[in-house]
């Protein structure tokens, strides 16, 4: 049994990880909800979500599950610190918990590299200023974003209420023919059950936040197996 501990801010699409446990035999994903004063996607709030003290408190709660690795399952609460800041965040978390650690933002960059996709479109639910921070983060990770859409949804709880048709429309709107893949960067969005539908809608790989979070956790413990998960990333 492989155990990947997840630190997740607030309550919006945490049940996506229950879907993941059903998909991946022998995988446990214990999840701790980390502290947040507001679920608004504003840069100051996002930096508060990703503070070292907040993550350390969550990691302490995960110890009872004896995780093999820990992932900060939050894209905006990691990319808001920039490429180097996200790496430092993960390194500090790893040092505190004594386990390999990463974040969803770092997972996106590594998943894109693993697939060999270089020209990217981004379908972001965030307000424009936050979406641009993700574009900047990817640029620092040597990923070229050639188009992006920002749906201007301020609160994570509202993102969690989006239905499959909403997400498919968002992905289609952001895609352009020259893009090798479309990235959907919000762990507050339900996507794990519809990745095949998303990829069918645009005819190319679609990487979503909850998908790459699970992928990254498995990568940290050398647990990736071809054909065991949703989308071309696991193909």
Domains of the chain: 2-106+211-234 (3.40.50.12500), 115-208 (3.40.50.12500)
- Single out the residue of 73, 94, 93 nearest to residue 15, CA to CA: 73
% the chain with pLDDT above 70: 100
Per-residue model confidence (pLDDT) at position 83 = 97
pLDDT exceeds cutoff 90 at 29 = yes
Q: DSSP characters for 174-212? A: H--TT-SEEEE--TTS--TTSHHHHHHHHTS-EEEHHHH
pLDDT value at 15 more than 90 = yes
- 184 Cβ partners below 8 Å, 6+ apart? 122, 123, 124, 167, 170, 171, 191, 198, 206, 207, 208, 209
What local confidence, expressed as pLDDT, does residue 68 receive?
97
Residue 13 pLDDT grade (very low, low, confident, very high; cuts 50, 70, 90):
very high
Checking if the pLDDT of 226 tops 90, the result is no
With a cut of 90, say whether residue 154 has pLDDT above it.
yes
Q: Which residues, 6 or more positions from 146, have their beta carbon under 8 angstroms from its beta carbon?
A: 119, 120, 121, 176, 178, 179
Residue 228 has pLDDT above 90, yes or no: no
Residues β-bridged to residue 207: 183
Structure tokens, 196:
């095949």
- Tens of pLDDT, residue by residue over 111-150, are 999 999 999 999 999 999 999 999 999 999 999 999 999 9
pTM: 0.96
pLDDT in tens, 179-202: 999 999 999 999 999 999 999 999
Q: What is the percent of the chain where pLDDT is above 90?
A: 95
């Amino acid at each position: 049994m492989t155990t990947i501990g997840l630190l997740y801010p607030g309550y919006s699409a945490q049940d996506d990880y229950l879907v993941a446990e059903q998909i991946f035999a022998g995988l446990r994903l214990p999840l701790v909800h980390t502290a947040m004063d507001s679920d608004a996607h504003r840069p100051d709030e996002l930096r508060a979500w990703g503070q070292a003290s907040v993550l350390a408190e969550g990691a302490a709660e995960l110890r009872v599950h004896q995780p093999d690795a820990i992932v900060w399952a939050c894209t905006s609460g990691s990319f808001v610190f920039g490429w180097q800041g996200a790496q430092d965040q993960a390194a500090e978390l790893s040092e505190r918990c004594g386990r390999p650690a990463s974040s969803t933002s770092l997972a996106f960059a590594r998943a894109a590299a693993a697939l060999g996709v270089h020209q990217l479109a981004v379908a972001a639910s965030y307000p424009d200023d936050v979406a641009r921070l993700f574009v900047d983060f990817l640029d620092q990770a040597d990923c070229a974003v050639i188009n992006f859409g920002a749906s201007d949804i301020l609160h994570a709880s509202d993102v969690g209420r989006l239905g499959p048709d909403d997400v498919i429309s968002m992905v289609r709107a952001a895609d352009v023919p020259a893009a090798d893949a479309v990235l959907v960067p919000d762990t507050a969005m339900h996507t794990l059950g519809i990745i095949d539908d998303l990829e069918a809608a645009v005819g190319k790989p679609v990487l979503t936040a909850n998908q790459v979070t699970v992928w990254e956790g498995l990568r940290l413990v050398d647990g990736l197996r071809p054909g065991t998960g949703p989308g071309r990333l696991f193909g």
